[in-house]
Amino acid sequence: MDFAFSRSYRGPLQAVIFDWAGTTVDYGCFAPAGVFVEVFKDKGVEINMDEARGPMGMHKRDHIRIVSQMDRVAQAWKEQHGHPCTEEDVEDMFQQFVPRQLEIISQHADLVPELLVAQAGLRRRKLKIGSTTGYNNEMMDILTVEARRRGYEPDSMFCATDVPAGRPAPWMALQNAMQLGVYPMEACVKIGDTVSDIEEGLNAAMWSVGVLLSSNEMGMSLEQIRLGNPEQVEARKQRARLRMLQAGAHYVIDTLAELEWLLDEIEGRVRRGERP
């Protein structure tokens, strides 16, 4: 008779790995979106905020490339320039993006309202806190200082420029796990606000969670959510939730205030031998 044996991890969760803009800081993810609009406008091509937000979470050069390849944007570019957007054009826009983002990033460093309570809960549970971002190190040199001043300080942080490829590749998440000294991957939870965040977590074999209200997918400030038409806000919220679930998110939460029960739920599944 032939037998196959497998082992399963039944221990506690060990780490949570957060995204930055739209997840822990910059409610609504406004800092990068506006700059993307500006750099395309300078090239004579108008893009709207939905187009600017579409690939959010990726390396910013990759983000610009994908926007330039969208059907409407590609057509507008060809009409304006007489040729498709080239890699040289993408690089030029990226070089224009970087200083503009550096100039305004500190203005978008406020923490999402639930973060400090969530961070305290993670510390009580002895969980390590990692982070990944589509920003580069120069941008994060500013943002991490601003976040620390406000009380948020993860144990590790990796940028898309630190690894061979940014999201949806798993390398930033895996580098966090290595630096934090945590494994197996089912003991880790990745939390982010974009489809590429969800895919990063899945590709790293981690539990992948979307956070909704502060997200790029919602694209609304806290004030806009509070004062907006409730039916319209709810409709936008459900569309964003569906996008995250269709991307494969194991869970989608409204805010980080739900983190405590979420971790209890995931840890229960891990202790039963389940994997992402």
Active site residue 19: yes
Distances (CA, A) of 75 to 65, 69, 90: 14, 9, 15
Q: Which of 43, 60, 190, 237 is catalytic?
A: 60
Active site residue 197: no
Q: Which of 19, 62, 193, 197 is catalytic?
A: 19
The size of the chain, in residues, is 276
**CA pair distance 192, 203, nearest whole angstrom:** 14
**What tokens were used for 230?**
């409730």
Question: E strands along the chain, which residues?
Answer: 15-18, 128-133, 158-159, 188-192, 207-211, 251-253
SS3 119: helix
Phi, psi of 3 (to 5 degrees): -130, 145
User: Which of 198, 183, 206, 203 minimizes the C-alpha distance to 266?
Assistant: 206
Compute the CA torsion angle 256, 260, 264, 266 (nearest 10 deg).
Answer: 10
Tokens 């579409």 — which residue? 54
**CA pair distance 248, 243, nearest whole angstrom:** 9
Which residues are tagged catalytic? 19, 60
